[in-house]
Amino acid sequence: MSTPLYKNLPKEINKTARNLSEAHEDLVYCIGWHENKEWKEVEVASDFSVYPCCSLHAEHQLNDTYFDKKLDSMDKDWNNLKHNKLKDILEIWHQHIKPEYWKDEKTLPGCCNHICRIKND
C-alpha cells in the first residue's frame, strides 16, 4: 500500500500541513475545499474520468484504486463523462466527500484518509 500524498513530500516542501492553524479540526487537509470553503476544482483525466481534486486524480490514475471501499465497489465507469453527466458525477463525489465527514474517524472517507490525512485522532 502506498503512503498518503502529503506524507511523501519533504518537510521543507510540505507547507500545507505545517501552516495550518491550531484551530484546524479536520483530520485531513483538502486542497479542493479548504482554500475557498466550496468545491471549485474539477479534474478531468485524458480518459474523461472526473475527480474533485488533483490528489484523487493522481492517486487513482497511478494506483487504479480510490483506497475507498465504497468508491472501489462502484461501476468502473461511474465517474466517466462518456457514460454519465458531469453534474451526476460531481453529486456522487460531493455526497461521499463532505467536509463534515473529515472531523471524525468513523465518517472519514477512505480516499481522504489515505491520500490527504494530516493528523491522527
Count other C-beta atoms under 10 Å from residue 37's C-beta: 8
Q: Which residue has the cell 480518459?
A: 47
Domain contains 74: yes
Largest CA distance in the chain: 43
Measured CA to CA, the distance from residue 78 to residue 71 in angstroms comes to 9
Domain contains 71: yes
Please tell me whether the overall predicted TM-score, pTM, comes out greater than 0.85 for this model. no
What residue numbers bound the domain in which 15 lies?
Answer: 5-116
Look at residue 74 and give its three-state secondary structure.
coil
- pLDDT for 41 equals 85
- By the 8 A CB rule, do 97 and 109 touch? yes
Measured CA to CA, the distance from residue 63 to residue 59 in angstroms comes to 6
Look at residue 39 and give its three-state secondary structure.
coil
| Digitized pLDDT (tens) for each residue of the chain, 121 residues in all | 555 555 555 555 445 555 677 778 889 888 888 777 888 889 999 999 999 998 999 999 999 999 999 999 999 999 999 999 999 999 999 999 999 999 999 999 999 999 888 876 5
Going by the DSSP 8-state scheme, the letter that residue 46 receives in this structure is: T
- pLDDT for 70 equals 96
φ, ψ for residue 44 (rounded to 5)? -120, 120
Q: How many domains does the chain have?
A: 1
- pLDDT for 76 equals 93
Strands 50-51 and 43-44: antiparallel
- pLDDT for 10 equals 53
Domain contains 26: yes
Domain contains 121: no
- pLDDT for 34 equals 79
Domain contains 99: yes
